[in-house]
Amino acid sequence: MKKKIVVLNGPNLNLLGVRQPHIYGHDTLADIEARLRARAATHGLDLDFRQSNSEGELVTWIQEVRESCAGIIINPAAYTHTSVAILDALLTCEAPIIELHLSNPHTREEFRHRSFVSAAAKGVVCGFGAYGYELAFEGLAKLVKTAAKK
Ligand code: DQA
């Protein structure tokens, strides 16, 4: 059975492409998903790609995949800066977690400088726009393969 990488996207990321394109770029979430599907195929990995505007749904999804997935990439969007519930759910996962942001939150408003999620993350990718998803995927694929060899 192929190992599964789960990519979780938080609130308002369904509007990528039209939402503040000067910050988040012109690619849609569907564009990003298509590129990750191609990369997953190259690596022989399965991809489960989801988006929700609801904190509770994200927590439920993390619980659902926590034992079955090989790794998680999460862009928690605004919940990055507020959600202890998402942090707690991520802390129950053994698989590596990569936190991802299209923008670099550290160059933006002060309230974006704090991430609750980082405490559960093996790595953080930010500031590379949509391409950051591909960077995060490649990094996670490498971690997953290295872990498989041990
Ligand atoms: C974001 C950064 C967050 O501060 C913001 O609330 C988002 C998107 C990013 O990808 O740059 O919705 O996570």
Residue 75 CA, closest ligand 1 atom number = 13
d(CA 45, CA 126): 23
Asked whether residue 82 is assigned to any structural domain, the reply reads yes
d(CA 53, CA 146): 33
Residue 28, domain CATH = 3.40.50.9100
Name residue 111's amino acid: F
Number of domains making up the chain: 1
Secondary structure (3-state) at 96: coil
Count of helices and strands (H, E) across the chain: 5, 5
What is the whole-number distance in angstroms between the Cα of residue 94 and the centre of ligand 1?
25
**Residue 72, pLDDT score:** 98
Q: ∠ CA 103-72-135 to the nearest 5 degrees? A: 45
**Residue 149, pLDDT score:** 73
φ and ψ of 105, to 5 deg:
-60, -25
What the block records as the tokens of 12 is: 């308002």
Q: Which residues contact ligand 1 via a Cβ below 6 A?
A: 12, 75, 77-78, 80, 101-103, 105, 112
**Residue 150, pLDDT score:** 65
Asked whether residue 118 is assigned to any structural domain, the reply reads no
Average confidence (pLDDT) per 10 residues, the chain, 150 residues: 96 96 96 98 97 98 97 98 98 97 97 97 98 98 86
Task: Please check whether residue 65 is in contact with residue 39, taking contact to mean a CB–CB distance below 8 angstroms.
Answer: no
Nearest-CA residue for atom 6 of ligand 1: 78
**Residue 140, pLDDT score:** 98
**Residue 42, pLDDT score:** 97
Asked whether residue 116 is assigned to any structural domain, the reply reads no
Domain range for 35 is 4-110+123-149
Residue 126 CA, closest ligand 1 atom number = 11
What is the whole-number distance in angstroms between the Cα of residue 115 and the centre of ligand 1?
11
State the DSSP H helix or E strand holding residue 4, giving kind and residue range, or none if neither.
strand 4-9
